[in-house]
């Protein structure tokens, strides 16, 4: 069995879903990175005095760190951990409420293709461990019992669970939400040109001094090849792909994007890239579209006019939503 571990140290963000499209760094920009939320988070900011930018970037990193402790199932004191330990649910912060509310909306509109209740399933596969394994059918059935959009509900800030064993996992949306909040903090500090990139979940604020933000989308099967280049400003760009975290067993590739109906890796796509007005929404939609596959995935995007998508199907063919072309940069 060969195992492509989740990137923490060693691999560059360039090997994830996105690559920064960089020319020569501008003198008025600063670039900082930290290891947060299980990945490398990089912030580029410009257009102000260096001292002001330093303060703004420090505050943005602090906000991401705060949300990591609130939303991650890996922190013993997080609200997600408290939800897991509660029999019927618990009251949560406004931030956790907002994440769950958006996640439930995408879950319902996608027919459960996006699911916040896959905590037990993800733990069963062990993608966060040294040696993930393919579960047997009986174990999968137990992990899938009682999951789905109706298994979780919100009443204000009260999160209700239908079953005590239900394990909430916000990994498919929390990182995007943290990037959105980091951008909000930068704006509060007067920053008008910035990019926040958390392992391929990114938001591009304004424009770089003297030029637009350009993002190269990685080819899912040719790691050194840029599939397409897009030009955006004041928008999020997120990619989900089967090449990010996977292992191979008996000649079969098993990746980390699961179909909630089967508990197995979804097989309809190689990658999905979403451009939207928020990273949290793009994050959730990228997963949902990947699980649904090209035809149903594009249909889902019609319910979100603020989002466009590029899909690489399982056979390598490209599919895109009608508005994608306005972001594409000609070769």
Same structural domain, 156 and 182: no
Last-in-domain residue among 129, 161, 193 = 161
pTM (two decimals): 0.90
Residues 238 and 272 in one domain: yes
Are 214 and 299 found together in one domain? yes
- On whether residue 331 sits in a domain, the answer given is no
Strands laid side by side in the 193-198 sheet? 30-36, 39-46, 193-198, 201-205, 235-241, 269-276, 308-313, 318-320
User: Is 224 contained in some domain?
Assistant: yes
Q: What does the pLDDT look like over 207-224, one tens digit per residue?
A: 986 778 999 999 999 988
Same domain, 20 and 42: yes
Residues 154 and 22 in one domain: no
What range defines the domain where residue 93 resides? 71-161
d(CA 187, CA 36): 21
Between residues 129 and 262, the one the model is more confident about? 262
**pLDDT, tens digit, for every residue of 151-168?**
999 999 999 999 998 999
Do both 16 and 34 map to the same domain? yes
**CATH classification at residue 109:** 1.10.3980.10
Instruction: Specify whether 56 is located in the same domain as 191.
Output: yes
pLDDT tens digits for range 28-37: 789 999 999 9
> Of 109, 129, 161, which residue constitutes the final position of a domain?
161
What the block records as the tokens of 224 is 């050194």
Query: Hey, what are 265's tokens?
Result: 């890796």
Please report, for residues 100, 309, 313, the alpha-carbon distance to residue 291 in angstroms, rounded to integers and kept in the order given.
19, 14, 11
**Residue 170 belongs to a domain:** no
Alpha-carbon separation of residue 29 from 43, 52, 57, 181 (angstroms): 10, 11, 11, 21
Cα atoms in the 13 Å half-sphere on the side-chain side of 327: 28
Domain boundary among 130, 161, 192: 161
- Please check whether residue 107 lies inside any domain of the structure: yes
Q: Domain count for the chain, please give it.
A: 2
Q: Are residues 186 and 241 in the same domain?
A: yes
Whether residue 168 lies inside any domain: the answer is: no
> What order do you get walking across the sheet with 213-218 strand by strand?
18-20, 213-218, 226-232
């Amino acid at each position: 069995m060969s195992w492509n571990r989740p990137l923490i140290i060693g691999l560059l963000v360039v090997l994830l879903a996105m690559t920064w499209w960089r020319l020569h760094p501008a003198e008025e920009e600063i670039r900082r990175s930290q290891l947060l939320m299980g990945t490398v988070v990089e912030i580029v900011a410009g257009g102000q005095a260096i001292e002001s930018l330093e303060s703004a970037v420090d505050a943005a990193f602090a906000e991401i760190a705060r949300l990591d402790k609130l939303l991650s199932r890996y922190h013993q004191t997080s609200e997600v951990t408290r939800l897991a330990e509660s029999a019927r649910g618990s009251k949560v912060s406004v931030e956790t409420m907002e994440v769950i509310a958006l996640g439930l909306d995408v879950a319902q509109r996608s027919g459960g293709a996006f699911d916040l209740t896959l905590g037990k399933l993800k733990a069963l596969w062990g993608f966060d461990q040294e040696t993930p394994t393919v579960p047997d059918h009986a174990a999968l059935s137990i992990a899938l019992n009682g999951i789905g959009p109706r298994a979780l509900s919100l009443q204000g800030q009260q999160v209700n669970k239908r079953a005590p064993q239900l394990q909430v996992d916000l990994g498919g949306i929390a990182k995007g939400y943290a990037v959105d909040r980091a951008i909000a903090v930068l704006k509060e500090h007067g920053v008008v040109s910035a990019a926040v990139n958390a392992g391929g979940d990114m938001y591009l604020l304004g424009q770089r001094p003297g030029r637009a933000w350009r993002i190269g989308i990685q080819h899912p099967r040719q790691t050194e090849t840029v599939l397409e280049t897009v030009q955006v400003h004041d928008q999020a760009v997120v990619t989900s792909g089967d090449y990010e975290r996977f292992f191979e067993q008996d000649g079969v590739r098993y990746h980390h994007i699961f179909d909630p109906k089967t508990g197995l890796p979804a097989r309809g796509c190689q990658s999905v890239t979403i451009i939207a007005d928020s990273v949290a929404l793009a994050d959730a939609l990228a997963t949902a579209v990947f699980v649904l596959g090209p035809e149903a995935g594009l249909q889902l995007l019609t319910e979100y006019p603020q989002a466009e998508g590029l899909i690489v199907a399982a056979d390598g063919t490209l599919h895109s939503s009608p508005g994608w072309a306005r972001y594409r940069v000609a070769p």
